[in-house]
Amino acid sequence: MEAARLTVQDLGYGGLSFRELAKAVGIKSASIHYYFPTKGALGEAIMRRYVEHYARYLEGILEGGADRATALRRYTDVFRETLLNGNRLCLAGMLAAERNELPAEVRAEVVAWGEMNERWIARVLALGGAAGAEDLRGRARAIFAAVSGAQMVAHGRHEVAVYDEVVATYRASGLIP
Amino acid sequence: MEAARLTVQDLGYGGLSFRELAKAVGIKSASIHYYFPTKGALGEAIMRRYVEHYARYLEGILEGGADRATALRRYTDVFRETLLNGNRLCLAGMLAAERNELPAEVRAEVVAWGEMNERWIARVLALGGAAGAEDLRGRARAIFAAVSGAQMVAHGRHEVAVYDEVVATYRASGLIP
DNA sequence: CGTTACCTACCGTGCGGCAGGTAGGTGCCC
DNA sequence: GGGCACCTACCTGCCGCACGGTAGGTAACG
């Protein structure tokens, strides 16, 4: 699962093959079909695992009692780390681009990723205190989209510095508190 | 070229094949190799054409005497139209995601797209008047990344409304003037 | 006669997926 | 406790297909 995830983040869903994955983990491709009958099932499992992993990780940040600014800093650092790790894109970001050639079950998980992120960011924004009845969910969605875009642009240039610069500008402009 | 561009925006560089493209335009795949010896050469040509087309289009907006807000509105509308046209992604956005499996010549064109966009946005921001010595280029890059991200997130969900909402939030937060 | 713009026919590679085999373990009945 | 059924976790070997790319041919045109 770990090898498959890294491959998809590197080469996309289309770049993931049973044969190459089998080679990477030292078995034969037919053995992977034993656990995941189709590529769609494999993709769904990879994506679900990813969403659950980060749901736990983000939950941990809040349980650790981080304040709003700190939590959001840790959030943007997650995307930064992914870039540092072999110029990889967020798994869901990669799959979002490939959406039109994805099996339906994988698409659904991509949407679930976005919703999980938005829910979490909205909760973090609410930590800000007496800001009143703003549209937290809409703001959360905008932050999610902006950070995803920053990662993609930096990925396209293969320069983490671009990501850092763009995210800093988001903060300076007030988009990210 | 037009058919190839639409295919890449729909299915990505990996989803573009000589055979399918030939079928779409009513010739044989070997005839495409006559004009573009390799897939990399074809990809480069598609991308270059795309950058030049939009460079002219954006130039036209400024020559038409649009003010800052209007020009940026037209800019975000371009990305919106692409989504409306078969839930397609900006050509360069799609290729940016696939970067790690792209031939070098295509990568270079993706970078050129980003730079062209940033230059244009920076010029538009300068129209704002007496804002002083802000870092226009950095701000332009952030706007470019944010709009690209909005398009990708909306693409992943197949809902233009998501794009509209996110871009509106960018404006409300002050990221986009 | 040379060039242009195509064509047919093929090559090797890699893909997702399937059929069927097998070594080793587990559990249960006589 | 010996035999047998069954399961798990792999395997070999193949299928049909699509891919990028090449060799060489041809009809029309200047």
Other CB atoms within a 10 A radius of the CB of residue A1 amount to 14
pLDDT score of A167: 98
Dist CA B143 CA B2 (whole Å): 28
Report the CATH number that the domain containing residue B85 is assigned in CATH. Answer: 1.10.357.10
Percent of chain A with pLDDT over 90: 94
Q: A87 in a domain, yes or no?
A: yes
For residue A12, which residues of chain B lie inside 8 Å, CB to CB? 12, 14, 97-98, 101
- Least CA distance to A14: which residue of chain B? B14
| DSSP 8-class letter at B15 | T
CA of B140 to C1' of C9 (A): 53
Rounded to a whole number of angstroms, the distance from the CA of A111 to the nearest CA of chain B is 6
Our CA angle for A100, A54, B169, nearest 5°, is 65
Q: B21 in a domain, yes or no?
A: no
Nearest CB among B95, B111, B150 relative to A145 is that of B150
Under a CB-based contact definition with an 8 Å cutoff, are residues B54 and B115 in contact? Answer: no
Which protein residue's Cα is closest to nucleotide C15 at C1'? A17
Q: A10 in a domain, yes or no?
A: no
Q: B10 in a domain, yes or no?
A: no
pLDDT score of B133: 52
Q: B11 in a domain, yes or no?
A: no
Residue A64 has pLDDT above 60, yes or no: yes
- Least CA distance to B95: which residue of chain A? A156
Q: A6 in a domain, yes or no?
A: no
pLDDT score of B129: 61
**Closest alpha carbon to B167 in B74, B60, B95, B97:** B74
Ranges of residues in chain B with a pLDDT under 50 are none
Under a CB-based contact definition with an 8 Å cutoff, are residues A103 and A42 in contact? Answer: no
Residue that is written with structure tokens 């007030």 in the block: A174
A12 and B15 within 8 Å at the Cβ level: the answer is no
Tokens of B64: 């038409």
* Per-residue pLDDT band at A130 (split at 50, 70, 90): low
Q: B18 in a domain, yes or no?
A: no
Under a CB-based contact definition with an 8 Å cutoff, are residues B141 and A165 in contact? Answer: yes
B152 and A157 within 8 Å at the Cβ level: the answer is no
- State whether the Cα torsion B118-B123-B127-B132 is positive or negative: positive
Nearest CB among B148, B153, B169 relative to A139 is that of B169
B144 and A165 within 8 Å at the Cβ level: the answer is no
Q: Which residue has the higher pLDDT, A135 or A129?
A: A135
Other CB atoms within a 10 A radius of the CB of residue B130 amount to 4
Q: What is the dihedral of CA A89, A93, A97, A101, to 10 degrees?
A: 100
Domain that holds residue A100: 48-173
Rounded to a whole number of angstroms, the distance from the CA of A166 to the nearest CA of chain B is 5
Using one digit for the tens of pLDDT, what is the confidence trace for B61-77? 999 999 999 999 999 99
* Per-residue pLDDT band at A110 (split at 50, 70, 90): very high
Q: Which residue intervals of B13-135 are DSSP H helices?
A: 18-25, 29-35, 39-63, 68-84, 91-97, 104-126
* Per-residue pLDDT band at A133 (split at 50, 70, 90): low
Those residues whose beta carbons lie under 7 A from strand C are A 16-20, 29-30, 33, 37-40; B 22, 26-31, 34
pLDDT score of B135: 85
- Least CA distance to B110: which residue of chain A? A156
Percent of chain A with pLDDT over 70: 96
A150 and B145 within 8 Å at the Cβ level: the answer is yes
The gap between the terminal CA atoms of chain A, to the nearest Å, is 35
Nearest CB among A98, A149, A173 relative to B145 is that of A149
Q: Domain count of chain B?
A: 1
A37 vs A17, A40, A43, A46, A67, CA distance in Å? Answer: 13, 8, 11, 14, 44
Which stretch of DSSP H or E encloses residue B145? helix B136-157
